[in-house]
């Protein structure tokens, strides 16, 4: 089966768009094929990040398309919420400072009858707006959240905890 460069480009773009945390690496998380990819994988696992990964080694065009999209020449490349975070050095610096967990690990916010996810930092920003009695938009979703919605979510979680006890 012959795969065109356009198909590769679409797969790379879809992977970035469809996965909140997306790692492009040499090898797989289970079997990294370079030390830099291994270290980024370990940093993501250390913070319990749920991430997808794509091996760039099977076709050199994957790396070419990815670098054209990101403007970043080296591998691995970590994307969060569709934005390039960086490579190994930046990811490890973020991990050491505690920032990686804030951007890569979602926190659950209940909105109506659906679960929505955002980063801890984004959730904290929305919560600060709610504390002031303001309305807030849940980042990345466009959903409006209100103090009442937060109160309903808290009451729901308290009932769930009580039933589990």
pLDDT for 48 beyond 80: yes
Which H or E run includes 110? Answer: strand 106-111
CA atoms in the 13 A half-sphere facing the CB of 160: 6
Tokens at 59, concatenated = 């076709």
Is the pLDDT reported for residue 150 higher than 60? yes
Q: Report pTM.
A: 0.68
CATH architecture of 5-102: 3-Layer(aba) Sandwich (3.40)
pLDDT in tens, 72-120: 999 999 999 899 999 999 999 999 998 898 888 765 554 444 555 556 5
Q: Is the pLDDT of residue 34 over 90?
A: yes
Could you give the percent of the chain with pLDDT greater than 70?
A: 67
Computed over every residue of the chain, the mean pLDDT equals 82
Q: Check whether 153 has a pLDDT greater than 90.
A: no
Looking at residue 110, its pLDDT comes to: 47
52 pLDDT above the threshold of 60: yes
For the chain, residues classed under CATH 3.40.30.10 are 5-102
Match 């926190």 to its residue by tokens.
107
């Amino acid at each position: 089966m012959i795969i065109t460069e356009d198909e590769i480009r679409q797969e790379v773009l879809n992977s970035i768009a469809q996965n909140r945390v997306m790692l492009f690496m040499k090898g797989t998380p289970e079997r990294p094929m370079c030390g830099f990819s291994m270290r980024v994988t370990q940093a993501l696992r250390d913070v319990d990040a749920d991430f997808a990964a794509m091996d760039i080694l099977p076709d050199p065009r994957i790396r070419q398309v990815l670098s054209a999209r990101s403007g970043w020449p080296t591998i691995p490349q970590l994307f969060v919420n569709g934005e390039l975070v960086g490579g190994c050095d930046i990811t490890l610096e973020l991990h050491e400072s505690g920032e990686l967990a804030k951007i890569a690990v979602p926190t659950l916010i209940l909105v109506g009858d659906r679960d929505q996810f955002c980063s801890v930092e984004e959730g904290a920003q929305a919560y600060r707006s709610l504390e002031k009695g303001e309305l807030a938009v849940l980042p990345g979703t466009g959903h409006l959240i209100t103090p009442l919605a937060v109160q309903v979510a808290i009451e729901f979680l308290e009932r769930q905890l009580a039933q589990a006890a």
